[in-house]
A = this chain, B = another copy of it.
Amino acid sequence: MAREIKVGLIGLGTVGSGVVRILQDNAALIEERLGAVVRLVKVADIDWERDRGIPLPVDIMTRDAWEVVRDPDISVVVELMGGDEPARSLILGALEMGKDVVTANKALLAVHGRELFAVARQRGVRIGFEATVGGGIPIIRALRDGLVANRISSVFGILNGTSNYILSTMTVEGRAFSEVLREAQQKGYAEADPTLDVEGIDAAHKLAIVAGLAFGADIEFSTIFVEGISRVTPLDLQYSAEFGYRVKLLAIGKWNDGRVELRVHPTMIPKSHLLATVEGVFNAIYVTGDAVGPTMFYGQGAGGLPTGSAVVSDLVDLCRDRLKGHEGHTPDVHTLQLSKPVVINDIEDVRTPCYLRITALDRPGVLSKISGILGACDISIESVIQKGRRVRGTVPIVMMTHEATERNVRRALQEIDNLDVIKAKTMLIRVEGALT
């Protein structure tokens, strides 16, 4: 008789249903590859009215998530309910009871990862978190195992499908953010409250996890600079194209001799770069290591089946380890829990070229005033576009600067935006030219 590992699932939403479907549809395949059966013995959710289109035996359903955690037969708990509490307590409970945990809860890991990994380590169990970043893309494994020989110098990620869909659509169709967002909500690509996605917070959660692993660093989530895409206009996308760039919501992590730079913001990247061709709801992570050079990992960043694919890959991994006969096995050393604190660069020290769209009254001397301020702040201009597209008496003055520190740019923009000829807050988009 085939050996089996008993698994419990908490949260039967989109991803949870995807996991159940995969375990059902590909049961034979998974058994063959693992050499054992992954048996789902308990599923907890508060809503059992909704039809998810997947057949489940009534006796494995429960409304009490703690029943899953406390079941002594269950070796691995899959947490897919999301959110902070009770997810955190449930995971801690499972770890304390010597169970491995698989989770897709990026917000929780980004903020409470240190605590959870410490407990896992102490109890000799593991947390699988492949599903927290990039949906079905096996990026966690790539960083932990595939690129283990490398000192990673940078990661650039398109980590939020909703934002990428919105920016892609705005670029192609020239429509406004709010309009495309509404459409995305209708299509189910964006949540009713889109803040986490469009304001870059979700991407920052994922960056915290990826950067922690890539740089072996204990990332304090609040140190990540985050700016969303809601202020980007079709005009900015059009100018970007004229300058030879595309705009992506990029999660950027750079390592430089023990100092780490972490930021999420709309970013202009050369349109010939591979990342620039990642469209719609797809995600991609561009990783550079000292031995391997540049690499990229691409796939669907969300959805029940893609994310379910990552969850089940963790399940198989943990089950494989248990089957090798070390219950109470040593956790991998190279996971978040061993990370050391690092120095996080102040965003004000970051140097990038910048795109500036200044909304000025169409009067003589304006450009000279602006360029005077930029010069005084040590910012040199690479090129300027000023075409007569007048809107209510103002013209957009669009500039690309050479590399400048964020500190100087902020100082300059404060002065510029205080001029009485300036009629709107200046739009700033940071540029990454080389992506290394």
Q: Specify the main secondary structure of chain A where it touches its partner.
A: mixed
Q: How far is the CB of A118 from chain B (nearest CB, A)?
A: 17
Whether the Cβ atoms of B333 and A148 lie closer than 8 Å is: no
Of the candidates B22, B291, B308, which one forms a contact with A309 in the assembled complex, judged by CB atoms under 8 Å apart? Answer: B291
Task: Give Cα A326–Cα B326 distance, bound, in whole angstroms.
Answer: 10
* Complex partner residue of A149 from B135, B141, B309, CB under 8 angstroms: B309
Whether B148 and A130, one on each chain, are in contact in the complex, defined by CB atoms closer than 8 angstroms, is no
Chain A contributes a number of interface residues (CB within 8 A of B) equal to 62
A308 nearest CB across to chain B (Å): 6
Contacts of A130 in B (CB 8 A): 146
Task: Note all chain B residues with C-beta closer than 8 A to A147.
Answer: 136, 138, 309, 313
A312 close to B (CB within 8 Å)? yes
A277 at the interface (CB under 8 A from B): yes
Q: Quick check: B300 and A292 within 8 Å, CB to CB? A: yes
- CB neighbours (8 Å) of A138 from chain B are 141-142, 145-147
Given contacts A296-B299, A324-B324, contact A290 B142 (CB under 8 A): no
- Asked if A30 and B148 sit within 8 Å, CB to CB, the answer is yes
Considering only residues 120-142 of chain A, those with a C-beta below 8 Å from chain B are: 130, 135-138, 141-142
Q: Which of A22, A29, A30, A291 has the most CB of B within 10 A?
A: A291
A167 CA to B333 CA in the complex, in Å?
Answer: 43
Task: Confirm or deny: A40 has a beta carbon within 8 angstroms of a beta carbon on chain B.
Answer: no
Q: CA separation between A317 and B149, bound complex, in Å?
A: 11
Closest to A152 in B: B29
- Docked pose: A334 CA to B338 CA in angstroms: 30
The closest CB in chain B to the CB of A299 belongs to B295
Nearest residue, chain B, Cβ from A138 = B146
Contact partners of A256 in chain B: CB under 8 A: none
Residues of chain B within 8 A (CB-CB) of A293 are 136, 299-300, 303, 305-306
Question: With the chains together, A159 CA to B381 CA distance in Å?
Answer: 43
Taking a contact as CB atoms closer than 8 A, the residue among B277, B297, B324 that contacts A277 in the complex is: B277
Contact digits for A296-334, partner B, Cβ 8 Å, 1 yes 0 no? 111110010110111011011100100111100110111
Take A138-B145, A149-B313, A313-B149 as given contacts and tell me if A299 and B291 are in contact as well, using a CB distance cutoff of 8 Å: no
How close is A123's CB to chain B, nearest CB, in angstroms? 17
Closest CB of chain B to A275's CB: distance in Å? 10
Which of chain B's residues has its CB closest to A292's CB? B136
Closest to A23 in B: B149
Chain B residues within an 8 Å CB radius of A294: 299-300
Q: How far is the CA of A320 from the CA of B326 in the complex (A)?
A: 14
User: Which stretch (A31-39, A82-90, A350-358, A411-419) binds chain B?
Assistant: A31-39
Whole-angstrom CA separation of A192 from B11 in the bound complex: 59
Q: Is the beta-carbon distance between A150 and B309 smaller than 8 angstroms?
A: yes
Distance in angstroms between the alpha carbons of A289 and B29 in the assembled complex: 13
Q: Are A313 and B148 in contact (CB under 8 A)?
A: yes
Task: Name A3-61 residues within 8 Å CB distance of B.
Answer: 18, 22, 25-26, 29-30, 32-35
22 pairs of residues in contact across A and B, judged by CB atoms under 8 Å:
A18-B291, A22-B149, A26-B151, A29-B151, A32-B333, A34-B333, A34-B334, A130-B146, A136-B147, A136-B293, A137-B292, A137-B295, A141-B142, A148-B316, A289-B309, A291-B308, A292-B306, A294-B299, A295-B298, A296-B296, A297-B298, A324-B324
Nearest 7 interchain pairs by C-beta? A138-B146, A149-B312, A136-B292, A295-B299, A33-B334, A291-B309, A296-B298
